[in-house]
Amino acid sequence: MARSKTSAAWLKEHVDDVWVQKAQKDGYRSRATYKLAEIDDKDRLLRSGMTVIDLGSAPGGWSQLLSERLGGQGTILASDILPMDPLPDVQFIQGDFMEDEVLQQLLDAMQGRQADLVISDMAPNLSGMNAIDQPRAMYLVELALDLAEQVLKPGGDFLAKVFQGEGYEDYLKLLRSRFDRVVTRKPEASRARSREVYLLARGFKG
C-alpha cells in the first residue's frame, strides 16, 4: 500500500508540476530541458559549430535544446540505454556506453573529432534507499567523467547531474584536478527538495 501511495503522490506532483506543464506547452520532451537552458543562459555553454555528447539522453529533452540552439551548425551525439525518438541534427546511439561496442560506435560517429562538451543527465532507477541509490548515482557520474576524459579536447567542458551525499566531495575534488574551474548549479526546474545539483567543469586540462 505504501508504495502505491508514494507512486500516486509522485504522479500528482509530476502532473501538477509547473515545469512539466510548461514543457508540454512549449513542446519539449521533458522538464529537464529548462535545467540545461538555464545553465546555458547563465554560463554560455553552447556555441555554433561545437561537438557535443549527451549521455543518458532519453527522452531527449537536452538533445532537443542542443538541436534548437546549435541550429544545425555542429555535431550532436546522444546515447542512452532506452530508446529515443529522432530529433533534427541529433545522431542517437542506443545502448550502454560502458560496453565496448557502444563506446566504439560513439567514437566512430565522432569521425576523429574531439568533443567540445560532454553533458550527462544520467540517474539510476531509484529504489528510495539512499544507501543503494547514492553509490549507483556516483558510479554513473564517474563513468560519464571517464568517457569525457577520453573524448574532450583540451579546454573542453563537462556538465553532469550529481546527487549530494557520500562520494560527492571526492568527486568534486576529482573534477577540480581535471579541469580549470568547477561551479555548482541548481536550476529553478530542479525540485527544491531533491539532492541533485549540476556540476559544470570548464577548461579540461587534457
- Cα(206)–Cα(47) distance, rounded to whole angstroms? 21
Find out whether 60 is annotated in a ligand binding site.
yes
CA atoms within a 13 Å half-sphere pointing along the CA-CB vector of 117: 26
Question: Tell me, what's the pLDDT at 1?
Answer: 42
Does the annotation place 203 within a ligand binding site?
Answer: no
pLDDT of amino acid 3: 55
- pLDDT on residue 18: 85
> Could you tell me if residue 114 is inside a domain?
yes
User: Inter-axis angle of helices 168-178 and 130-151, to 10 degrees?
Assistant: 10
**Boundaries of domain holding 190:** 31-204
State the Cα–Cα distance between residues 64 and 81, nearest whole angstrom: 18
> Average pLDDT, whole number, for the chain?
91
CATH assignment at residue 118:
3.40.50.150
- Kindly report the CA angle at 118 between 69 and 140, in degrees rounded to 5? 130
Which residues have a catalytic role annotated? Answer: 161
In-domain check, residue 15: no
Does 23 reside within a domain?
no
The residue to which cell 525540485 is assigned: 191
Q: Is 19 annotated as a binding residue?
A: no
Q: Write down the pLDDT at residue 97.
A: 86
Whether 146 is covered by a domain: the verdict is: yes
Contact 33, 65 (CB under 8 A): yes
Backbone angles phi, psi at 4, to 5 degrees: -65, -35
> What pLDDT is stored for residue 9 in this prediction?
60
User: What is the model's pTM?
Assistant: 0.90
58 domain-assigned: yes
**139 in a domain, yes or no?**
yes
- Domain membership of residue 16 (yes or no) is no
**How many domains does the structure of the chain reveal?**
1
Residue 145 lies in a domain: yes
| Per-residue pLDDT tens over the stretch 152-184 | 999 999 999 999 999 999 999 999 999 999 999
Residue whose cell numbers read 509547473:
18
> Residue 39: what pLDDT?
98
Cβ count near 175 (within 10 Å):
20
Strands lying side by side in the sheet with 90-94:
90-94, 75-80, 51-55, 115-120, 152-163, 196-204, 179-185
Q: Which residues of the chain have pLDDT under 50?
A: 1-2
C-alpha cell at 50: 561545437
On whether 62 is known to bind a ligand per the annotation, the reply is yes
